[in-house]
A and B are shown apart, each in its own frame.
Chain A
Amino acid sequence: MHLPAIIPWGAPEGFGKQMLLILLSVLLISWFFVAAARRGQMVPGKLQFLGEMSYNFVRNSVGKDIIGERDFRPYVPLLFALFFFILVNNFYGSIPLIQLPTTSHVGTAYALAGIVYVTWIVLGLKKHGIGYFKLAVVPSGVPKAILPLVVVIEIISTFLVRPVTHSLRLFATMLAGHLIIMLAAAGSEFLLTQDQWLLKPLGLLTLAGGVGMYLFEVLIQVLQAYVFTLLTAIYIQGSLAEEH
């Protein structure tokens, strides 16, 4: 997809609105958590409480519950960074005047899912050696006769389809939300500017529906960030587990 340039002069090729928003999101997230963690007090203030609550959410309900009490600690930073990076980049879709979720560009989603893909394969290889591939594609307790079929399906679903769906899930939902809001707005404009008076109430209806979708999008944005992080935790857990 072509990225429209926002800085007309001196900008490197392909530096568009999305790139600027990603840089802004990194700044925003680091600013927020540095400010929240700077003056740690026994009785937390509002900012500190918000920071601790969001950290605890990722640490406990994603990291600890999925990967397990024993070895979830090294992966908390990855999960935490992923969750908030995606969350802020999704929220851009619902902030007036910005209204462009960075993750609705497929490159962002590919990059994120690529990092996760490399991570869980490397973790599995580290933990089990080269036998990890056998562990990952040969399920236990399957009769020998249908094993060739199952192994082929497992190879496709684990190593080929998994990263694709992981990235496209995020990208497709964000793009769809973006398109729906745009469609509702364009439809309302078209209907409201028609000469026929019968069409004007319909324009108001689409406008109301568009606002409803706009609010519904916020829910989807949080949910997609959660699902992406949860799947990351599940994949990591799967490559650390002893048995398939």
Chain B
Amino acid sequence: MEGNINLVGYGLSAIGGAIGVGLVFAAYINGVARQPEAQRVLQPIAFLGLALTEALAILGLVFAFVL
């Protein structure tokens, strides 16, 4: 088999981002379930959290291709 071990590394590092995104949305769902009227306030915060967490996974993707 041929290939690059970088991609395995990227797969491993993506676990971190995946857990982070899961935590963000778990908190968001919890918050909305407890107080449905807070959804409008929580939604942008949840997506900002998603963006910040996902940035790590994206950086990992970049490094997987660059290095």
Contacts and interface: CB of A to CB of B under 8 A. Distances in A.
Contacts of B55: 161, 165, 169
Given A227-B50, A227-B51, A231-B51, A169 B44 contact: no
A21 interface: no
B48 A234 contact: yes
A65 B46 CA distance: 14
A169 B51 contact: yes
Contacts, number: 35
B23 interface: no
The number of chain A residues touching the other chain, given as a range, is 10 to 19
Contact of A65 (B44, B51, B59): B44
A168 interface: yes
Contacts of B62: 164, 168
Interface of B, helix, strand, loop or mixed by DSSP: helix
B58 interface: yes
Contact of A161 (B44, B54, B59): B59
Contact of A230 (B47, B54, B61): B47
Interface string B32-55: 000000001001100110110011
A170 to B, nearest CB: 10
Given A65-B40, A169-B54, A227 B59 contact: no
Interface in A151-203: 161, 164-165, 168-169, 172
Interface of B: 40, 43-44, 47-48, 50-51, 54-55, 58-59, 61-62
Given A61-B40, A161-B55, 12 more contacts: A66-B44, A161-B59, A165-B51, A165-B55, A165-B58, A165-B59, A169-B55, A172-B61, A227-B50, A227-B51, A230-B47, A231-B51
Interface of A: 61, 65-66, 161, 164-165, 168-169, 172, 226-227, 230-231, 234
11 contacts: A61-B40, A61-B43, A66-B44, A164-B62, A165-B59, A168-B62, A169-B58, A226-B47, A230-B47, A230-B51, A231-B47
